[in-house]
């Protein structure tokens, strides 16, 4: 089978793990996502994952009102570590070997982020799960995905969402909304299309690192993307 990409950075939002729940991790949903990842790993694709923490932090949100922004961001980073461990455990159940690397020093539960080790793990066929964002407050996990994608020389950053691409308008509110097949970074930035935050978009643009946006809930969508088949929306220079 011909593959369009050999090394990808998959950006998973924490909300993708909730399924239909209000917050937390839905077991059936995480198993379904891991099955999609496992399928491409078994085709020889090197996969790194950056995961968000919104699903965990959402349950704490009422208590975070009025909290110092940096403190809240560090709490969010810890939420991403929880998600990374859950993702690793789900991968273990389907016999996909993975390693969690954290940008925060949490040696009892995760390795520290070391670029050289991450590259070696990828070359060995292991999935590398990057947790704790960049390790700095005020930076999103979108920015972490762009940064880690550039550091590991990923061929593409794939943002897995609940929506199958980027639309001219909210498709849930406007049935006439049209899905873009391709966009330039400048179009995404100027039109404020909410692909990723501006820092992440600019970093990907400057590093000539394409972004693909697709629905992780469409069966086989991730496999179609790595094969280079039409799926979702791609943002390039």
135 labelled ligand-binding: yes
24 labelled ligand-binding: no
214 labelled ligand-binding: no
Quick check: 103 and 27 in contact, CB under 8 A?
A: no
138 labelled ligand-binding: yes
What span, in angstroms and rounded, lies between the C-alpha atoms of 96 and 204?
Answer: 29
Under DSSP, the state recorded for 222 is H
2 labelled ligand-binding: no
Residue 178 has phi, psi (to 5 degrees) of -110, 135
208 labelled ligand-binding: no
167 labelled ligand-binding: yes
53 labelled ligand-binding: yes
* Residue 196 burial (10 A CB sphere; 0-12, 13-18, 19+): buried
184 labelled ligand-binding: no
73 labelled ligand-binding: yes
What span, in angstroms and rounded, lies between the C-alpha atoms of 217 and 44?
Answer: 22
What span, in angstroms and rounded, lies between the C-alpha atoms of 64 and 71?
Answer: 9
Q: How far is CA 5 from the centre of its chain?
A: 16
191 labelled ligand-binding: no
Residue 79 to residues 51, 84, 96, Cα–Cα distance (Å): 10, 9, 23
134 labelled ligand-binding: yes
136 labelled ligand-binding: yes
12 labelled ligand-binding: yes
11 labelled ligand-binding: yes
Partner residues linked to 50 by β-bridges: 11, 130
Annotated binding-site positions: 11-14, 53-54, 58, 73, 134-141, 161, 167, 170
Annotated binding-site positions for ATP: 11-14, 54, 58, 161, 167, 170
Annotated binding-site positions for UMP: 53, 73, 134-141
């Amino acid at each position: 089978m011909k593959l369009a990409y050999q090394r990808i950075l998959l950006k998973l939002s924490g909300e993708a793990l909730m399924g239909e729940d209000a917050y937390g991790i839905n077991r059936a949903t995480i198993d379904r996502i891991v099955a999609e990842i496992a399928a491409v790993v078994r085709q020889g694709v090197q996969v790194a994952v950056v995961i968000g923490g919104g699903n965990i932090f959402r349950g704490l949100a009422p208590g975070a009102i009025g909290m110092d922004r940096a403190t809240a961001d560090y709490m969010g980073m810890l939420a991403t570590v929880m998600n990374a461990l859950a993702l690793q455990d789900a991968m273990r159940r389907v016999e996909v070997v993975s390693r969690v690397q954290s940008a925060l020093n949490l040696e009892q539960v995760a390795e520290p982020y070391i670029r050289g080790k991450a590259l070696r793990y990828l070359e060995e066929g292991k999935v590398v799960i990057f947790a704790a964002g960049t390790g700095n407050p005020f930076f999103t996990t979108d920015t972490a995905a762009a940064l880690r994608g550039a550091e590991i020389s990923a061929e593409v950053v794939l943002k897995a969402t609940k929506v199958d691409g980027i639309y001219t308008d909210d498709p849930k509110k406007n049935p006439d909304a049209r899905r873009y097949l391709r966009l330039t970074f400048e179009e995404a930035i100027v039109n404020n299309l909410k692909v990723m935050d501006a820092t992440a978009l600019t970093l990907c643009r400057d590093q000539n690192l394409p972004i693909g946006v697709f629905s992780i809930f469409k069966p086989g969508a991730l496999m179609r993307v790595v094969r280079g088949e039409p799926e979702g929306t791609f943002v390039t220079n």
